[in-house]
Amino acid sequence: MSTSVLYHAFQIEGVKCNSTSFEGRDIVFQAEIAGSYIRCPNCKSDDITFKDHKERRFHLPPMGRKQCFLNLLVHRTLCKTCGGLHWSHLPFMKGKSPLSCSFIRTALDLLSFSTIKSVAEFLKVGWDSIKDLHKDKLKLLYNRIEIKDIEYLSVDEFAIAKGHEYMTVFTDIRSGRIVHAVEGKDSKAIIPFLRRLYKKAVNLRGIAMDMSPAFYSAVKQELPHGI
Ligand SMILES: [Zn+2]
């Protein structure tokens, strides 16, 4: 039951909850990593040996007025396939931070209509932690976007005047920022930018678009390596 609460309420995947305790005003989920998730974080091999273990405590978003925590037993493993020595890593973790990704999302939601100080007080964490999250968000929103860093783009056209005048915009899906806009909606309009992508977007993994035959054939022609 608590394992599904962790998954559905806090998006914690890959753990098995062993017990739930109520410590004063806190709810604490005691858990271990599910067997199928104990693998090398580098090459994903499950041919590993255990070298060490420890307990890590993660902040989860609050339930009502109760603070919630996950106490998770993590392992240090030696991979027999790639030789890597690593501590466990699951998708909800952000490096060495004690803040889970769902906690970070909650903090960022609250920051959209509240101050850093109020969010820190409400979530009962230090001002510095929330300030750092805010700084990361601003960096993502306002730093110059390098084409080489883009992983997923969307391309769409919209009318700019009554009649048949259109613009085509390319948007970085991760940040929601427009990275390129051009007048027109045919393949001639978008091919110059697609050629820049072909040369520079080394991390590009996908482009989302509607079923416009002009976009589809231009992308297929200019980015032939299976995007
Ligand atoms: Zn490995």
Q: For the chain, what are the domain ranges?
A: 2-142, 147-222
Q: Which residue has the higher pLDDT, 190 or 143?
A: 190
Relative to beta strand 66-79, strand 26-33 is parallel
Q: Which CATH number fits domain 147-222: 3.40.1550.10, 3.40.47.10, 3.30.420.10, 3.60.15.10?
A: 3.30.420.10
Characterise 120 by phi-psi region: left (phi > 0), alpha (psi -120 to 50), beta (else). Answer: alpha
Residue 104 CA to ligand 1 center (angstroms) comes to 29
Mean pLDDT confidence for 165-188: 86
- Reported as a single tens digit per residue, the pLDDT across 72-88 is 999 999 999 999 999 99
Residue 44 CA to ligand 1 center (angstroms) comes to 6
Report in angstroms the alpha-carbon separations of 194 from 58, 130, 180, 201: 42, 38, 10, 10
Residue 18 CA to ligand 1 center (angstroms) comes to 28
Residue 46 CA to ligand 1 center (angstroms) comes to 8
Which tokens is 144 given?
């110059």
Report how far residue 132's alpha carbon sits from residue 11's, in angstroms, rounded to the nearest whole number.
22
Task: Write down the residue that tokens 């858990």 correspond to.
Answer: 31
Which tokens is 112 given?
């959209």
Confidence (pTM): 0.69
Residue 91 CA to ligand 1 center (angstroms) comes to 17
Report how far residue 200's alpha carbon sits from residue 223's, in angstroms, rounded to the nearest whole number.
12
Report how far residue 36's alpha carbon sits from residue 142's, in angstroms, rounded to the nearest whole number.
39
Residue 156 CA to ligand 1 center (angstroms) comes to 40
Strand partners, 71: 30, 57
DSSP output for 20-59: EEEETTEEEEEEEE-GGG-S-TTT----EEEEEEEEEEEE
- Reported as a single tens digit per residue, the pLDDT across 42-74 is 888 999 999 999 999 999 999 988 999 999 999
User: Which among 83, 96, 75, 82 is positioned nearest to 14, based on CA atoms?
Assistant: 75
Quote the pLDDT of residue 98.
Answer: 95
Angle (nearest 5°) at CA 188 between 187 and 189: 90
- Burial readout 108-120 (b: 16 or more C-beta within 10 A, e: otherwise): eebbeeeebeebb
Q: Which residue has the higher pLDDT, 78 or 143?
A: 78
Q: Which residue has the higher pLDDT, 144 or 49?
A: 49
